[in-house]
Amino acid sequence: MASLNPAGEEDAFGRYRSPLVSRYASPDMAYNFSERKKFSTWRRLWLYLAQAEKSLGLPITDEQIKEMEANLDNIDFRMAAEEEKRLRHDVMAHVHTFAHYCPKAAGIIHLGATSCYVGDNTDLIVLRDGFNLLLPKLATIINRLADFAKKYSNLPTLGFTHYQPAQLTTVGKRCCLWIQDLCTDLHNFERARDELRFRGVKGTTGTQASFLQLFEGDHSKVEELDRLVTAMAGFKRAYIITGQTYSRKVDIEVLSVLASLGATVHKICTDIRLLANLKEIEEPFEKEQIGSSAMAYKRNPMRSERCCSLARHLMILVLDPLQTASVQWFERTLDDSANRRVCLPEAFLTADIILSTLQNISEGLVVYPKVIARHIEQELPFMSTENIIMAMVKAGGNRQECHEKIRVLSQQAAAVVKQEGGDNDLIARIRADPYFSPIHGQLETLLEPTSFTGRASQQVARFLNEEVKPALVPYQSKMGVKIELSL
């Protein structure tokens, strides 16, 4: 059948490419899940196995080891593809391809191992490296938002509960709500990475039977082989118990913390989008950026919208490993393979894109204090009524009588706002009412916004010093790079 692509089958733009890679992802994360990283890691694992087997007495020569070392990155992808087409087995295709370039070592490549020795162990390396790429980005965002929170720790702003005006907070205190969730994600990432273990050298069903045979029943050598290869791969521990694969519940743990990040970012960026609608805070907007092809005045929060869009995708990906783990019969079935090829890379690529975008947002947030002050001015008279009542009582007034007068005046002012579209004139009504003359001189003080923010600024200072600053210590040398988005 002829190709539907008029430019021919070799046309790269005539084939679907995941936008996670072609449009958004960082080069480092894209490489982490690349074929080259995968297969060069397979070769390193074969090298580690041969080196460890040699050190424990198996007849493997220095010449064979050197030959393998010389060809770790010399991968003939075309030959490997042809071998896989012929053999219908990706691991054996790469064994044959590696052996072709290492003829002296051909007989000892993959000795005693099963496919999951390279497959699963490589996945664990890639997951670990993926977290190591994400963690500095997450720390950088926390650092940028911490600077923002400190700068605006004293700036009063309307709080919202049920998206209705509530007690005042500060811009910096609200930002600390975001930071706190991101710090939880930082801790979860570190924990998930540090709890990853190596599958190690376990054989076809996890019993290490093939290696026990190689070492003629010497259990101590099999255990030492497992320990040596685990250390060579950069892990402190290997799973003692595996089937053919490491437990797929590990993937659940990994994608759970990524999904949790998705929830955090969706909340943060939704808040920013709502604040942009109120014209209180906006994400960066480039000088020549176009918000709408028709409405030239538009300043759409497209970065925050992108984060929300991708966060939804990230949150649902955890469903894949949940279902995969549930259908792993006995020591293993192949229900996992195709699914994991999709969900594991997509989760890390999506998290990477979200963090890059959120960092860009955090480095360019624009605050409009006068708009914030106007919104406070519109709502504060209602919020100040309790303070006014208390001041009247201190001046000798009757609490119940004062409450009723405030109630009536508040309803009248609310009618002006809601029915006439006017400004809140409650304070003007109080000034005009002789009943409140004992406190007319106190009204300015009673209406000072900072008197309504409680300990917000002190909470910000304590939180940043006691919780945020220590959490960022391991990443100090990696937080200097600014993010420029091309799209």
Q: What CATH code is carried by the domain that includes residue 191? A: 1.20.200.10
Rounded Cα distance, 254 and 72, in Å: 29
Express each pLDDT in 224-252 by its tens digit: 999 999 999 999 999 999 999 999 999 99
Please determine, for residue 288, whether its predicted confidence score (pLDDT) is greater than 70.
no
Quote the domain boundaries for residue 397.
Answer: 371-452
Reported as a single tens digit per residue, the pLDDT across 122-132 is: 999 999 999 99
Looking at residue 290, its pLDDT comes to 52
- 3-state DSSP call for residue 170? strand
Count CA atoms closer than 13 A to 313's CA, side-chain side: 20
The residues, any chain, with a CB within 8 Å of residue 363's CB and separated by 6 or more, are: 144, 284, 482, 483
Residue 14 lies inside a defined structural domain of this protein: no
Residues 340 and 262 in one domain: yes
Looking at the fold, whether 245 and 341 belong to one and the same domain comes out as yes
The pLDDT tens digits for 102-128 are: 999 999 999 999 999 999 999 999 999
Assigned token pair, 339: 């699914």
Last residue of a domain, one of 348, 366, 384: 366
- Please state, in angstroms and rounded to a whole number, the distance separating the CA atoms of residues 57 and 28: 39
- Assess if residue 457 is contained within a domain: no
Ranking 36-45, 231-240, 376-385, 400-409 by mean pLDDT, the lowest is 376-385
CA atoms within 13 A on the CB side of 343: 23
**pLDDT confidence bin for 285, thresholds 50/70/90:** confident
Strands (E), 149-258: 156-161, 164-170
Contact 424, 379 (CB under 8 A): yes
Handedness of CA 56, 58, 62, 67 (dihedral sign): negative
Q: What is the Cα–Cα distance from 116 to 339, expressed in whole angstroms? A: 16
Q: What is the distance between the alpha carbons of residues 372 and 158, in angstroms, rounded to a whole number? A: 8
Query: Are 65 and 167 part of one and the same domain?
Result: no
Q: Is residue 191, in this structure, part of any structural domain at all?
A: yes
Q: Examine the domain organization and report whether 180 and 281 are in the same domain.
A: yes
* 202 and 308 inside one domain: yes
- In sequence order, what are the residues at sequence separation of 6 or more whose Cβ sits closer than 8 angstroms to the Cβ of residue 88? none
Q: Which residue has the tokens 């708009």?
A: 371
Q: How crowded is residue 438: how many other Cβ atoms within 10 Å of its Cβ?
A: 14
Mean pLDDT for all residues in the chain: 94
440 and 351 share one domain: no
Report residue 296's pLDDT band, with 50, 70 and 90 as the boundaries.
very low
Instruction: Please indicate whether residue 1 or residue 21 has the higher confidence score (pLDDT).
Output: 21
Residue 409 inside a domain? The answer is yes
The yes-or-no verdict on residue 31 having pLDDT over 90 is yes
* Cβ density class 53-78: b for 16+ within 10 Å, e for less: bbebebebeeebbebbeebbeebeee
- Give the Cα-Cα-Cα angle 386, 391, 397 (nearest 5 degrees): 105
Inside any domain, residue 78: yes
Of 366, 397, 417, the position where a domain reaches its end is 366
Strand partners, 366: 282
Region at 330 (left for phi over 0; alpha for psi -120 to 50; beta for the rest): left
- What local confidence, expressed as pLDDT, does residue 480 receive? 86
Q: What does the alpha-carbon distance between residue 315 and residue 325 come to, in Å, rounded to a whole number? A: 18
Residue given tokens 């040699």 in the structure block? 54
Residues contacting 304, CB < 8 A, separation 6+: 269, 270, 272, 273, 276, 283, 361
Q: In degrees rounded to 5, what are phi and psi of residue 251?
A: -65, -35
Q: Are 149 and 179 a contacting pair, CB within 8 Å? A: yes
- 389 and 323 housed in the same domain: no
In a domain, residue 273? The reply is yes
How far is C-alpha 51 from the chain's CA centre? 37
What pLDDT, on a 0 to 100 scale, did the predictor assign at position 13? 77
Looking at 366, 388, 416, the residue that finishes a domain is 366
Query: Residue 305 has what DSSP assignment?
Result: H
What whole-number percentage of the chain has pLDDT above 90?
A: 86
> Is the CB of residue 317 less than 8 Å from the CB of residue 348?
no
Active site residues: 162, 292
67: domain CATH number is: 1.10.275.10
Asked whether residue 433 is domain-assigned, the answer is yes
Does one domain contain both 266 and 411?
no
Does 312 lie in the same domain as 253?
yes
CA distance linking residue 226 with residue 203, whole number of Å? 11
The predicted pLDDT at position 293 comes to: 45
Q: How far apart are CA 42 and CA 67, in angstroms?
A: 15
Domain count, the chain: 3
What is the CATH classification number for the domain harbouring 439? 1.10.40.30
In-domain check, residue 470: no
Tell me: do 93 and 60 sit in the same domain.
Answer: yes
Q: Which two tokens stand for residue 425?
A: 């004139």
Least trusted range by pLDDT, from 13-17, 86-90, 127-131: 13-17
Q: Are 224 and 163 in contact (CB under 8 A)?
A: no
Q: Are residues 83 and 197 in the same domain?
A: no
pTM: 0.92
Structure tokens at 16: 């679907």
153 and 230 co-located in one domain: yes
